[in-house]
Structure 1
Amino acid sequence: MWNKFRNIQSVLFFTYSLIIVIVFTVLVIWFYMWASDLLRQNAADTLQSMGQSMQEHNDSEIQKMNDVSLNVLYSNLVKTHFQKFISGEEDETDPTGLTNPVMNSVENAKQLAEILTAAIGPSRPVEQLYLYDFKNKVYGNGFDNGERTYDSSKKPWYEQVINNTEGKTITLPVPDEEMSRFISSSEKQYSISLFRLFYDSYNEPMGIVEVKQYFNRIFASMIEFSKQNPYQAKVLVYNDAGQIVYPLQADTSVYSAYMKLPTGKAAQAENDYLPFVNPDTGGKELLSYHHSSFTGWNTVIIVSEKKLLAPLFVFTKRTVLVAFIIMLFAILLSFAAAKRITFPILKIHRTIRSMRLEDLGTGRVAALELNSGLTELDHLHFSFQQMSSRLKQSMDELLLSQSQEMQAKLVALQSQMNPHFLYNTLATIHAMAEENMNEQIISMTENMSHFLRYFSSDESLVDLGEEVLHTEKYLEINQIRYGKKLEYSIDIEESILKLRIPKLIIQPLVENSLKFCTTNEPPWMIQVKGIIQDNRWQIEVSDNGPGFTEDSLNSLNGRIREINETHVIPVLQLDGMGLLNIYIRMKLTYGGDMLFRIDNRPRAGATIIIGGTL
C-alpha cells in the first residue's frame, strides 16, 4: 500500500502541503492572538467609557440638586423671609402696625415663593424644593407649592440629616406619592432627595433644605443603556454603606459579590476595567468599576465575558474559515503543481494503455507520435476524443436496443386477448341462429367485426374516445348475450375524448369486471366514468361483483412492488389481458406520473382507477 505514495507526484504534493499547513497555522495563531488582544482592549475601552459616562451623568444630576440647595443656603433673602414665615412676624415696613397677621403670612409666603423660584433658576434643574423648620412646618416650591405641617418622627431621614453637620445627605430612591400626582404615567414614581441643614445668620440651624429629583431623570443614561443593551450588561450603583441605589428593588444577594469591591477612597484608586469570576455561576465576567467621591456612589457595569467577546468569537470563526479556504486552495494549487510536473509521464502511460491493436499503423497512431514538446496533452485530448466517440456509439446502440425492447413489450402486452371471449361469442351467435334471431346476429357480428378490426390495428396509442367506443361495442356484444341480466353506463367528459392513451386499457378492465360479476346473481352493474382531476385524466371502472379477495390484492400489490423496486418487467404470459399487464403498459407509457388504484367498494363490488398526465 505504501508503494502507492512513493511516486514523485505524492512526494511533491505532501511536501508542498506540509509547508503550507505549517505556514498558515503559524499565521492564523499569531493573527488570532493579536486580534484577541486588540478586540479585548477595544471592548474594555468601550465598557470603561460607558461606565465613566454614566457616572458623570449621575454626578451632574446630583450636582444640580446640590447647587440648588447651596443657592438656598447662601441666600440672605431666603433666610430673612423663611424666618418671618416660620415666626409669623409682622411687616416692619408698615408704620401703622395695623396690618392683619394673616395678610402678613400670605405676603411672606408669596415673597418666599418668588425667592425660592429664583434660587431654583429658570431652567428648573430640579423638580421640587422643601424648607422644613423645627416646629413641624414645611414649605414647598415646585410642583408641590404651599405650607403644611409634618411629623419629624415619621421621616426616616430626619435623624440622619440632623446629625450630619458636615454637608449634604443623599437618600436612597423611595416611592414618591406626592410627585407621582404630577406625572401622567400610571407607573409608580420614585425620587431621590438631597438634604442640608439650613443655618441662620448666626450659623445656628433653623431648618432643613430638601431638594427632590425624579429617579428616572437622575439615572436616565442607565435606563436608556438597559433598553439598548448590546451585551445584556447589568448596571449596579451602590453607596459606601453597601446600599443599592440602582436598580430599583434589587435583590442584594444577587449583587453581594460585586459589592465587596473597595469603597470610599480605596475605590477611587481602583477605577478600572476588572476581570471577575462570578462565585455563584463560575462564569467569567468583565467589570467596569467607578467610584464618585462627590456622591459616594459606586457604579459597576457587569458584562459576561462570553457575551462581550461574542463578536471576537464570530470574527475568529470567520478568520479560521477564510484561512482554511485559503489553505485548501493553496493545497489544491500544490496538488496541481505536483501533477503538472509528473503529468507528461503519466499521460504517456495512459495513452499507451488505452491504445488498441487495430489502431497500430493507422494515421491516428502517427498523430499520437508527434513530438511538439506538449505531446502528452495532445495525446490526452485525442484519447478522450476516441473514448467519447466509442462511448457514444455504444450508448446509441444500447438506447436503440432498449427502445426496441420496450416497443416489443408494448406490442406484446396489447396483443394479448382472452380467446374465451371469441369462443363464447361464436357460441352465442350459433345459438341465436338456431332461434332465427337475425337482428341480434347482425348486431353482434357488426360489433364483433369492429372489435376485431380495432384489436388487430398496429397503433399503440389511440384517442380515448375511440377506446371508449371499442369498450361500448364490447358491452353491447355481452348485453346481446346476457340480455337484461347485464346493465351498464358510460359517462366520459367530452374534454378528454381526444386525449391519446395506450390502446386496450379500458376494455380489459370492463372485461375483468364482467368476469367477476357473472359469479353473482344478476343483475350485473358495470359503470365507466371519465373525468379530469389534478391535471390528469382518470378512468374509473366499478361493478357490483364480489370484489377482490385479500389474497388476490396482496398478490397483485406484491408483484407491483417488485416491478417498482427491480425495474424489471416480468415474462409475458399469453393467458389473457390481466390487471398486471395493464399496470405495466401504463408504467411504460407514463412512468411515475401514472395512476393505478384498485379497491373494493364499501358494500359490494370493486373499483379500478387508472389515469395519466394531460
Structure 2
Amino acid sequence: MKAISGGTGTPMWNKFRNIQTILFSTYSLIIIVVFTILVLWFYTWTSDLLRKNATDSLENNGKSMQEQIESEIRKMNDVSLNVMYSNLVKNRFKQYLSDIDNGASEPVDPAIPQASEPLESAKELAEILTAAIGPSRPVEQLYLYDFKNKVYGNGFDNRERYYDPKKKFWYDEVVSSDATKIITPPVIDEEMSKYISSRDKQYSMSLFRLFYDTYNVPIGIVEVKQYYNRIMRSVLDYKRDNPDQESVLVYTDAGEILYPLEANAEDYEAYIQYAGERRGSEAPDRFTSAFTNPLTGHKELLSYHHSSFTGWNTVLIVSENKLLSPLFRFARTTVLVALFILLFAIALSYVAAKRITYPILKIHRAIRNIRLDDLGSGRVATQELNSGLNELDQLHGSFLQMSARLRQSMDELLLSQSQELQSKLVALQTQMNPHFLYNTLATISAMAEEKMNEEIVAMSENMSDILRYISSDQPLVPLETELLYTAKYLEVNGLRHRSKLMYEFEIAERLKRLQVPKLIVQPLVENALKFGTLEKPPWRIRIKADVADHRWRISVSDNGPGFSEDSLARLDQKIRELGRSNEMPVLQLGGMGLLNIYIRLKLTYGDSARFELANSPEGGAVITIGGKLSNKEE
C-alpha cells in the first residue's frame, strides 16, 4: 500500500483545475483572440488612412504654396511680356527717347512756359504702360531703363530720373545674360517702403528683361517690381495659421534661400542637399519623403515641389510626431476603448462562469474559509443554497447546522475572554487613580506647610480637571488629551518648585490624535520628577513623541541620577515574569507604577508593545514606550 500524505499543501497548478477557472479561461481566451484581431485590423486600416490623409495634406499644402508663388511671378512675367511685345510701347518709348534727345539739343528759356514734345511723349507712354499693367494692377511698380542712364517709372513711383548703372547690382547680369528673364532675390526697397503705412522696411523682388525695338535691337531694360510679402503671401498666411507646426523653405536652384528671410543657411543645408540628391537621381519635380534631421536627430517628413518656370524650390518640413498627432491620438483612444470593452467582455465571461459554478463554489469557499473568528462574530452564512440540486442543498444544510453549533460555543468563549480582558484593564486603571491622588495630596500637604495658599488654590483647580479626566470611563484617549493633563500635572508641580522645575514637549503633529491608554504618560513624568529631584536643581524633564519605521514611540527623560544597576535588573526580571504569567502587578503606593504601564501596553498592543528602561549618556533616566501604528493612523 502507498502511504497517504497527511499534508494540506496543494500544488499551484491544482488550484486552477476547477470548473469556474476553466470556463472563465476559455471564454476569456476566445474573447481576447477575436477582439484583438478585430482591433488590430481596424487600427491598421484606420491608421493607414490617417497617415495617407496627413501626407496628402502636406503635399497639397506644399503644392498650393508653390503654385501661388509661381502665380505671382507669372503675373510679373505677363506684365513684362505685355511691355516687351507691345509695338505701341516700343514706338512710344523710342519716340520718348528721341524727343528727349531733340529737346536737349534745342535750349529753351525756362522763364517762358511752353508745351514740349518730351512731356507729351511721357504722358502717352504713361497711359500705354498703365494699360499694359492692366486695370487690376497685378504688380506694384514698372520701370523702363534706357541705356543713357535715364529711368521712367509707372505705378506708385511715376518719376523720371537718372540712374547709375554701377550702383545697380543687377545691371551687368541683365545686360550680359542670355536668359530671357532674371528674377532678383528679395532686398530692402527704400523707395517702395515710402508707399506703405507700416514702419517696417519693405522687401521687394524684381523681374528684369531686355527691351528690344522692332528690329530686335536692345533699347532698354524692363523691370517689374512686386512686394516680397505679396509674392510669399501664401507662405506667410500658412505660417500664421500654423505657427508651431510646419517649417517652410523656398530657395533657388543655385541654393539661395528666399524664405525665410535672413535664414541661417547651415540650418537648411541638409534639406537642400537631400532634395538635390533626389532630383539628381530620380529627377522628380515633387516628392514626399521621410527624412532624419542630422542636426537634431528628429524624424521628419519633407514635401518638395519644384517650379521649372521660376527655378524655385518649395519645401515643407514637419515633424512626424506633429504631422501624425491625429494618428497618435486615435491610437490612444482606440487602445483605451479597446481595453474598456475587453475588460467589460472579460467581466461578463467571469460572471457567466461564476453563475454556472456558483452552487459548488459557495459550499467550497464556506468550508475552506471558515475561521474561529468568523464563528465567534456570526459572519458564517445561514441562508439556504437553493441551487436546484438536492444533494448540494442537503450538504449545505448540514454545514449550516454544524456552523450554528460551533458559533454558539465560540460566542461563549469569546464573551468570557472579552470580560476577562476588560476586567484586567479596569483593574489596572483603578490602581492608578488612588496612586495619583495620594501623591498629589502629599504635594498639597507639603505646600500647605510652606503656606503656599495661592499655589494650593491653583493646584486644586488643576487637580479638579485631572480627577475629572482620570475618573472618565474611556480606556483609550487621544495622545493630545493625555499630554494636556500631563502638562497640568507638571503645572501643579511647577507651582511648588517654581523655577527649579523645567520641562519641554516635543510632539510630532501626526501623533496628536493617536489613541493611547489613559494615564500612560503622566506616571512616567511622575517617576522622572520623583527620582530627578534627588539631584540638585534645576530639574529638567523632556517628553518626546515621534514616528519611526511605522511605529510610534514616546520617551520621558530627566537629568536625575538615573536607574541603578540593581533597579534595572529587578525591573527587567519583573517584566519578564509578567510577560510569562500575564498577571497584573499589585500597585503599591511606594512604587510599581511602571509595571502597571507595561502590562496595560501589553494588553492593548500585544507583542508590538515597546517598554524600555535605560540611562542617558548625558545623565538621567530615559523611559521609552511605543507600539505599532494601525493602517488608519498611518
Provide TM-score, normalisation by structure 2.
0.62
Displacement of 1:193: 0.7
Alignment pair present for 1:311 and 2:323: no
Asked if the contact 2:149–2:164 (Cα under 8 Å) also holds between the matched residues in 1, the reply is: yes
Separation (CA, whole Å) in 1 of partners of 2:109 and 2:467: 143
1:552 paired residue number: none
Letter in 2 for 1:258: A
Q: Which residue of 2 aligns with 1:256?
A: 273
Aligned residue among 338, 350, 356 for 1:323: 338
Q: 2:42 aligns with which of 31, 34, 48?
A: 31
1:33 and 1:259 map into 2 onto residues whose CA distance is 34
Offset from partner CA, 1:333-386 (integer Å, 9 cap, x none):
3333333322223334445668999x9xxxx99974867459979998999998
**What is the DSSP-based 3-state SS (H/G/I as helix, E as strand, rest coil) of the residue aligned with 2:436?**
coil
- 2:37 corresponds to 1:58: no
Q: Percent identical across equivalent pairs?
A: 46
Shift of 1:169: 2.2
Question: Is the Cα contact below 8 Å between 2:145 and 2:151 reproduced in 1?
Answer: yes
Residue number in structure 1 paired with 2:78? 67
| Corresponding position: 1:244 with 2:241 | no
Partner deviation per Cα, 1:299-344 (whole Å, 9 max, x = no partner): 2223333432232233223323332332333233333333332222
1:145 Cα deviation from its structure 2 partner = 3.6
Q: Tell me the residue number matched to 1:529.
A: none
Aligned with residue 53 of structure 2, among 27, 42, 45: 42
Does the aligned pair in 2 maintain the 1:447–1:474 contact within 8 Å? Answer: no
Cα shift at 1:512: 7.4
Residue 235 and residue 577 in structure 1: after superposition, are their counterparts in 2 closer, same or farther (change >3 A)?
same
Q: Is the 8 A contact 1:79 1:200 kept in 2?
A: yes
Q: Is the 8 A contact 1:467 1:504 kept in 2?
A: no
1:261 aligned counterpart, secondary structure: helix
Q: CA deviation at 1:206?
A: 1.1
The residue matched to 1:295 in structure 2 has which SS?
Answer: coil
- Equivalent of residue 169 in structure 1, options 163, 182, 195: 182
Q: Does 2:300 align with 1:288?
A: no
Counterparts of 1:346 and 1:234 in 2: how far apart (Å)?
65
Distance 1:3-1:295 versus aligned 2 partners, 3 A rule: same
Shift of 1:126: 1.9
Alpha-carbon distance change, 449 to 63 in structure 1, aligned in 2, over 3 angstroms: closer
Question: C-alpha separation between the residues in 2 aligned to 1:335 and 1:32?
Answer: 27
The residue that corresponds to 2:550 in the other structure is none
Asked if the contact 2:384–2:396 (Cα under 8 Å) also holds between the matched residues in 1, the reply is no
Extract unaligned runs of 5+ from structure 1: 489-501, 527-544, 550-554, 556-570, 589-614
Query: Which residue in 1 is equivalent to 2:288?
Result: 274
Shift of 1:60: 1.9
Deviation at 1:443, TM superposition (A): 9.5
Contact 1:417 1:577 in 2 (8 A): no
Work out whether residues 368 and 379 of structure 1, in 8 Å CA contact, stay in contact via their aligned partners in 2.
Answer: no
Deviation at 1:58, TM superposition (A): 0.7
Q: What CA distance in whole angstroms lies between the structure 2 residues aligned with 1:447 and 1:351?
A: 63
Contact 2:202 2:227 (C-alpha < 8 Å) held by counterparts: yes
State the Cα deviation string for residues 42-79 of structure 1 (Å, max 9, x = none).
Answer: 11221121112112211221122223223333445543
Contact 1:275/1:284, CA 8 A, preserved across alignment:
no
What SS class does the counterpart of residue 93 from structure 2 fall into?
A: helix
Give the TM-score normalised by the residue count of structure 1: 0.64
Cα deviation 1:114-165 (Å, max 9, x = unaligned): 5434443444322222111111211223333412222324433223323456
1:38 maps to a residue whose letter is L
Q: Deviations over 1:511-565 (max 9, x none)?
A: 97799689657xx999xxxxxxxxxxxxxxxxxx98999xxxxx9xxxxxxxxxx
CA distance in 1, matches of 2:443, 2:240: 92
What is the alpha-carbon distance in structure 1 between the residues aligned to residue 153 and residue 37 of structure 2? 72
Cα distance in 2, alignment partners of residues 272 and 147 from structure 1: 44
Partner amino acid, structure 2, of 1:305:
E
Matches within 5 A, 1:340-351: 340-350=355-365
Aligned equivalents of 1:485 and 1:237: distance in 2? 89
The 1:143–1:354 alpha-carbon spacing in structure 2 relative to 1, beyond 3 Å, is: closer
1:459 corresponds to: 471
CA contact (8 A) 1:231 1:308 kept: no
Report if the CA contact (8 A) 2:77-2:207 is conserved.
Answer: yes
Q: Does 1:416 align with 2:443?
A: no
Tell me the distance in 1 between the aligned counterparts of 2:184 and 2:421. Answer: 96
Confirm or deny that 1:126 pairs with 2:144: no
C-alpha distance in 2 between matches for 1:381 and 1:291: 89
CA gap of 1:373–1:474, structure 2 versus 1, over 3 A, is: same
Q: Matched residue of 2:309: which SS?
A: coil
Is the 8 Å Cα contact of residues 535 and 560 (structure 2) preserved in structure 1? no
Paired residues in the alignment total: 520
Contact kept, 8 Å, 1:168 with 1:194, in 2: the verdict is yes
Deviation of residue 89 (structure 1)? 5.2
Matched residue of 2:82: which SS? helix
| C-alpha contact (below 8 Å) 1:418/1:577 kept by paired residues | no
Change over 3 Å in CA distance of 1:258–1:425 after alignment to 2? same
Where does the alignment leave 5 or more consecutive residues of structure 2 unmatched?
A: 1-10, 475-480, 503-517, 541-557, 563-567, 569-583, 605-634
Q: 1:560-603 CA distances to partner (integer Å, 9 max, x unpaired)?
A: xxxxxxxxxxx99964989x98xx99xx9xxxxxxxxxxxxxxx
Trace 1:365-514 onto structure 2 (pairs within 5 A): 368=384, 372=388, 412-417=431-436, 459-460=471-472, 478=496
